[in-house]
Chain A
Amino acid sequence: MAVSIEQQAKGGGKADIRYLTPLDIETKEVKKYCRFKRKGFKYIDYKDADFLLYLVNEQGKILPRRLTGTSLKFQRKVAQAIKRARHIALMPYVADMLK
């Protein structure tokens, strides 16, 4: 212990402070795609509620595009279909633990 202090005093000792280099764990950027465009959907039916449940979170709220990655055109169709399904009580407006 004493030796190292002397050594450091003489300045010969290696400075063991290492600067934190940014950890460059390269995260693969998963390209989001619109599942409706890729599958060739033309119309989203407001009557089959169990399909629409995929596009809604636990509280029954519509999932945003940034999470699902759907295109604007289909997000509008999905939103309209969900709102119609809610109107005829196939889907709840507010729910808890929907899934």
Chain B
Amino acid sequence: MNHYETVFILNPVLSDEQIKEAVKKFEDYLLSKGAEMIWKEDWGLKKLAYAIQKKKSGFYHLFEYKVDGQVVAPFELEFRRDDSILRYLTVRLDKHAAAWAETRRKRIKEKKTK
């Protein structure tokens, strides 16, 4: 069970429930493959640094999860198939990266509770 982190950008023209549904689809796919979801983040609508597919902004989402290695490739295939995804990036977290993600989560939680 390796530790992964995936960031993906959704098309800005989507409506709210389409976005929720897309995010849910990916999450369900992971859970069906026996992944353990650790953290989910929604950065909302952000301006892109450069235009992707003629679009200037996008909805950013972050998934942090633990899963077997061979699940990641088909998972990314799902991203490629879905045309509402502008871009995705999956990163394997080593122990330093995982520790950093841990502290980052704590910081965000503190900010929320404050």
Q: CB of B1 within 8 A of chain A? A: no
Q: Closest chain A residue to B93 by CB distance?
A: A43
Binds B, one of A1-9, A12-20, A27-35, A88-96: A88-96
Q: CB of B97 within 8 A of chain A? A: yes
User: Do A92 and B89 touch (CB < 8 A)?
Assistant: no
Interface 0/1 of A42-53, CB less than 8 Å to B:
110111010000
Q: CB of B100 within 8 A of chain A? A: yes
User: Do A43 and B96 touch (CB < 8 A)?
Assistant: yes
CB distance from A27 to the nearest CB of B (A): 38
Q: Tell me the complex Cα distance, A95–B87, Å.
A: 20
Known A42-B100, A43-B97: A89·B89 in contact at CB below 8 Å: no
B58, B89, B97: the one within 8 Å of A87 (CB): B89
Q: CB of B52 within 8 A of chain A? A: yes
CB distance from A28 to the nearest CB of B (A): 35
DSSP class of B's interface residues: helix, strand, loop or mixed?
strand
Which size class do A's interface residues fall under? Answer: 10 to 19
CB distance from B71 to the nearest CB of A (A): 21
Count chain B residues whose beta carbon lies closer than 8 angstroms to a beta carbon of A. 17
CB distance from B65 to the nearest CB of A (A): 16
Q: CB of B31 within 8 A of chain A? A: no
Interface 0/1 of B43-72, CB less than 8 Å to A:
000001110100000101010000000000
Known A45-B104, A93-B50: A88·B9 in contact at CB below 8 Å: yes
User: Do B100 and A86 touch (CB < 8 A)?
Assistant: no
User: Do A43 and B100 touch (CB < 8 A)?
Assistant: yes
Q: A88-B87, A91-B49 are in contact. List 14 more A-B contacts (CB 8 A).
A: A42-B96, A42-B100, A43-B96, A43-B97, A45-B104, A47-B7, A47-B62, A49-B49, A88-B60, A88-B89, A89-B48, A89-B49, A89-B87, A93-B50
**What are 13 A-B pairs at a CB distance below 8 A?**
A42-B96, A43-B97, A43-B99, A45-B104, A46-B91, A47-B7, A84-B89, A87-B87, A87-B89, A88-B7, A89-B49, A89-B50, A95-B49
